[in-house]
Chain A
Amino acid sequence: MSKIKRVGCALVLIGITAVMVRSQDTAGEYVAPAKAVPTGKAPKMQVQLLNPGEPTKQYAVIFYQGDEAFSGLQEFAEKYHVTSAHFTAIGALNGATVAWFDPQRKMYKKIPINGQHELIGMSGDIALYQGRPVVHTHAVVGGPDGTTQGGHVLEAYASPTVEVMVTVDPVTMQKRFDPETDLTLIDPALK
């Protein structure tokens, strides 16, 4: 084997090892609160306005197999120009990442949820930060023996469905950056 080939093999092996170490570390990984939400991860999402003509709008937002519901809700909020909303959801998931806020580090500790789980309850709100809607949601999930886990939702993959009932208020709710926690918090006094 030539020297170049040997170096190439070694680099590939290092790469594989790095990827493996990274995936095993997910449980202890921390993420910063202000992380951009990816788009296009919920291609099957369907939206139905339930009460046309009313000032306070009610929507059913339904996700199907493989849709990532958190980024999907973010897309819904942007597409429908949501400036203040709250919602509840139930369904089932195959794979999710929830998180726990560590006030010392000012970061979210990732909690991986592997395999099929009931999405027992997900509730959340939508408010504006720097003119863009921000989705904030918490979930409780249940395993095959009824034991529960939960946290701040980072990603949640529908399997087979997630049913979200959203109430959109005809007002604007603003968030502001809180330097003490590095989080964006809702400030009802902000116009």
Chain B
Amino acid sequence: MRWKQIEDEPKTFVLIFETGDEIASVLQQFARDQGLAGSSFKAIGAFSYAKLGWFNWETKKYAPACVLDEQVELLSLIGDIALKEGEPQVHAHVVIGRSDGTAHGGHLLEARVRPTCELILTESPIHLQKKLDPESGIALIQI
């Protein structure tokens, strides 16, 4: 993954992922390196593999919704970054298109880029904090 800061106000980055990059972990590492604490981002591109999740309200966990071990278009990736116990936490959702044009989507668990993924990220001066929500069992942004 290569990146460049393209604007100061608001602080904006372009991240270009390459074949083989696992997007969720690379983005998490970038957030840690840059100290991101209140960001939003979107991306398009293509994957050779994607594992998507669905939040199961009964078990309070992300169940794997689908695993696509094939070349797919990344039609849309939308996400945000907030702090959970001082650490940046990336939250991203994707829609992917298969070779017949049908779409699948869910919470991004893991995805391998091929050949590219172009992500634009805007960071704000104010931090967003996540706190454990007892009702859902997961950390939600609290304002």
| 8 A-B pairs whose Cβ atoms sit less than 8 Å apart in the complex | A90-B78, A140-B76, A141-B105, A145-B65, A145-B66, A161-B140, A163-B80, A165-B80
**Residues of chain A lying within 8 A (CB to CB) of residue B55:** 92, 116, 118, 160
The verdict on A104 contacting chain B, using a C-beta distance below 8 Å, is no
Q: Chain A residues near B78 (CB, 8 Å)? A: 88-90, 120-123
Say yes or no: A121 contacts B54, CB within 8 Å. no
- Pick from B10, B93, B126: contact of A118, CB below 8 A: B93
Contacts of A123 in B (CB 8 A): 78
Number of A-B contacts (CB under 8 A): 127
- Give chain B residues whose Cβ lies under 8 Å from the Cβ of A96: none
Contact A48 B136 (CB under 8 A): no
Number of residues on chain B facing chain A (CB within 8 A): 41
CA distance A142 to B125 in the complex (A): 32
Q: How large is the interface on A (under 10, 10 to 19, 20 to 34, 35 or more residues)?
A: 35 or more
Across the interface, name the chain B residue whose C-beta is closest to A147. Answer: B104
A51 at the B interface (CB under 8 A) = yes
- A28 contacts partner chain B, Cβ-Cβ < 8 Å: no
B6 at the interface (CB under 8 A from A): no
Instruction: For the complex, give the distance between the alpha carbons of A54 and B12 in Å.
Output: 15
Residues B9 and A54 in contact, CB atoms below 8 Å apart: yes
Dominant SS among interface residues on chain B: strand
CB distance from A43 to the nearest CB of B (A): 14
A146 touching B40 by the CB < 8 A rule? no
Residues 73-116 of chain B: 1 if any A CB is under 8 Å from the residue's CB, otherwise 0?
A: 00010111000000000011111000000011111000000000
Q: Which of B38, B79, B133 contacts A90 (CB 8 A)?
A: B79
Contact (Cβ within 8 A) A90 B92: yes
State the Cβ distance, A46 to closest chain B Cβ, in Å.
Answer: 4
> What's the Cα separation between A120 and B78 when bound, in Å?
8
Main SS class of interface, A: strand
Q: A52-B126, A117-B54, A118-B107 are in contact. List 20 more A-B contacts (CB 8 A).
A: A46-B143, A47-B143, A50-B125, A51-B10, A51-B124, A54-B10, A88-B78, A92-B55, A118-B93, A118-B105, A120-B106, A121-B76, A142-B65, A142-B106, A143-B65, A144-B56, A145-B66, A160-B133, A160-B135, A163-B80
B122 with A58: CB separation less than 8 A: yes
CA distance A49 to B66 in the complex (A): 36
Which chain A residues lie closer than 8 Å to B94 at the CB level?
120
Q: A119: CB under 8 A from chain B?
A: yes
- Residues of A within 8 Å of B107, CB to CB, are 118
Q: Which residues of B contact A120 (CB under 8 A)?
A: 76, 78, 93-95, 105-106
